[in-house]
A and B are shown apart, each in its own frame.
Chain A
Amino acid sequence: MDAPVSVVPAAEAPPRSLHRFANPGRFLRLSGRVLPWLAGAALVLTLVGLYWGLFVSPADWQQGDAVRIMYVHVPAAWLASAGYFSLAVCAVLSLVWRHPLADLAAAEIGPVGAGFAALCLATGSIWGKPMWGAWWVWDARLTSVLVLFFLYLGHIALIRAFDDPQRGYRAAAILALVGAVDLPVIKFSVDWWNTLHQPDSITLTGAPTMYIGMLYPLALCALGFSLGFGAIVVARMRAAVMERRIRGLLMARAQETDTQHSGMGAT
């Protein structure tokens, strides 16, 4: 028997595994099963990580106890960048493969990512005051994260700026892709420029330069925050899918009523 031939050119064929979740009913069922585990794991890991960071891990020989701000600042910074990266992935899925959930996911990731970028800036500022003696400096790392925060705000504003939601999603997806240029700038800003911000203590290629007693709680917090971010986005997406379904049902009912009324008027 011959293999089935697709009429869609290979380059345009959507990845099937991704489109399996395009069905709203399937998404609601699957996410409903995953969400409690995701939220539970996030809560446990975050609480253990924060307790360890606050009460068990040692103070830094140079920074003293202010180093404990790291356990909330670093995960917030990581999620601000990771959130924007996921916006860029959603943009590709939306612009290239027109995945129905990609725009919806981007619309729900945007505000959460903006919140974490703001949290990163605020906790960094709180950490900077006792360490540098200033709430803010126009350092390359700080400035590039501030740009990321504005990119998030632009993304949120663009989605809401058009009467036709599809045009808003498209414009926001283009901004998400263009703005992704800021991510390597954030990552390498401490290497490219002479910054007040310290260089990365954890890299993909080298061994961490951090004491192991600080690294473990930081890793727990980073994992817990990441799962929490995922749980919040999934919960928001579930709400958005249900809200969309409610709008569809109400519109269908309104059209049905209109048709009945016009039919009665004609007789």
Chain B
Amino acid sequence: MDHLPYIVAAYGLTVLVAGGFALDAWLRMGRARRRLAAIDPRAGR
């Protein structure tokens, strides 16, 4: 498989970009939820 390094690079980059955005969104959402619950427990539900 001559093209293996190119395939690995393309798939690796995709996992990095898409996974990075997904992880960032998930962490940001959790952070906001915890902070909102701490400030106003009624609003955080």
Contact = CB atoms under 8 A, between A and B. Distances in A.
Contacts, number: 89
Contacts of A99: none
Contacts of A119: 13-14, 17-18
A115 interface: yes
B6 to A, nearest CB: 5
Which secondary structure dominates where chain A touches chain B?
helix
B4 A65 contact: yes
A158 interface: no
Interface in A111-126: 111-112, 115-116, 118-119, 122-123, 126
A112 B24 CA distance: 11
B22 A116 contact: no
Contact of A246 (B13, B22, B32): B32
Given A118-B17, A228-B22, A236-B25, A69 B35 contact: no
B14 A72 contact: yes
Given A235-B26, A246-B32, A126 B21 contact: no
A66 B3 contact: yes
Interface of B: 1-4, 6-7, 9-11, 13-14, 17-18, 20-22, 25-26, 28-29, 31-33, 35-36, 39-40, 43
8 contacts: A69-B10, A72-B11, A119-B18, A126-B13, A232-B22, A235-B25, A235-B28, A242-B32
